[in-house]
Amino acid sequence: MKPIRVILLPGSVLPADEAYGPLIEALGPDVQAVAKDLELYADDAPPPGWSLDTEIDGVLREADARGWDTFHLLGYSGGGAAALAFAAKHPDRLLSLALLEPAWAGNWDWSPAHTELWKQYERLETLPPEQFMPAFMRLGVRHEVVLPPPQPGPPPPWMAKRPAGIKAFLRTFKSYDLDRARLAAFKPPVFFALGGLSNPDDYGEIAARLARVFFPDFHLEVFPKRHHFDPPHRIEPKRLAELLRRHWEKAEKSLGRL
C-alpha cells in the first residue's frame, strides 16, 4: 500500500507544528503528513505583494521538493483559504481537499448577515494591537461562547507577526479572484470540518455555500462542542484523524492507489 501524502496548511495564528502536532501523531506513521508554515510568516513582515498566490507557490515548491506529483491538501482558517485557491488553480495536483473552517470562500453573493460580518472584520484594521486579537477572535464564535483569557506571561515571539499577517489576509480577501467555475469543476472528494460553536454567519454559511454550489463530492462533519479557536485538529485529533483517513482512503481507492 502506498503511503498517504498530505500537506497541512495552518491558520493565521499558530505555527504549523504547534497547530498540527497532535493530529499528525494521531494519523500514525503510514501517513506522510507535512505541516507547512505559511509563506506569510517567512520573514518579520508579510512579503511585498503577498496574496494567496504566494501560498500556492509555496505549496508547489514543497510538493515538488518531495517529488510529489499528486497529494492531499488540508487547510485550516487562512490556510483553508489558500487550499481553496490551490484547488482552483492546480486541481490536477490534488487527490482530495480537506477544509477546516476556511476563513473565506470568494467575493460572491453572500447573505446580509455574512456581508455585515465581513464589514466588522474590515473594521478590525483600525484597532490598536492590544485590541485587535480579542476582537478578531470574538467575531469567529457564537455570541454565547466564553473565550479564555490570554495566557499569563509574555507572548511567544512569533505572535508579534500575527496582527500584520491577519490584516494581510483581510486585504487579499477583498481583491483575490477565486474562480467559481474552476471550483465547480473540482472532482476529487472534499471534506469540511465545522465547529458547532463557531459563528454560523461565517463558517456555517461557507460550508453551506461550498456544498450547495460547488463540490459534487462533499462531506460535512460537525463537531458540536468545538469552535474556531479550539478546533478539532487540536482538541479532538483522534476523531478527526479517523475521519480524514477515511476521506483520503476513499480518494485513493477511487484512483486504484490502495
Backbone angles phi, psi at 210, to 5 degrees: -65, -40
Q: What is the pLDDT of residues 27-55, one digit of tens each?
A: 999 999 999 999 999 999 999 999 999 99
pLDDT over 80 (residue 213): no
Q: Which residues of 111-141 are buried (b: 16+ CB within 10 A; e: fewer)?
A: eeebeebbeebeebeeeeeeebbeebbebbb
Q: What is the pLDDT of residues 149-173, one digit of tens each?
A: 877 888 899 999 999 999 999 999 9
Give the position of cell 484512483.
255
CA pair distance 33, 174, nearest whole angstrom: 31
Reported as type and span, the H/E element at residue 192 is strand 190-195
Q: What is the mean pLDDT of residues 92-115?
A: 92
Answer with the residue of higher pLDDT: 148 or 63: 63
The dihedral over CA atoms of 78, 118, 193, 68, expressed in degrees to the nearest 10, equals: -30
Q: What is the mean pLDDT of the chain?
A: 93
Give the position of cell 499558530.
14
pLDDT over 70 (residue 257): no
* Contact of 47 with 39, CB cutoff 8 Å: yes
pLDDT at position 1 is 63
Reported as type and span, the H/E element at residue 9 is strand 4-9
CA pair distance 30, 34, nearest whole angstrom: 12
pLDDT over 90 (residue 248): yes
Q: Could you give the number of structural domains in the chain?
A: 1
Q: What is the pLDDT of residues 111-145, one digit of tens each?
A: 999 999 999 999 998 898 889 989 999 999 999 99
CA pair distance 127, 129, nearest whole angstrom: 6
Q: What is the pLDDT of residues 49-85, one digit of tens each?
A: 999 999 999 999 999 999 999 999 999 999 999 999 9
pLDDT at position 241 is 98
Answer with the residue of higher pLDDT: 1 or 66: 66
- The CATH number linked to 243 is 3.40.50.1820
Q: Which domain holds residue 189?
A: 4-254
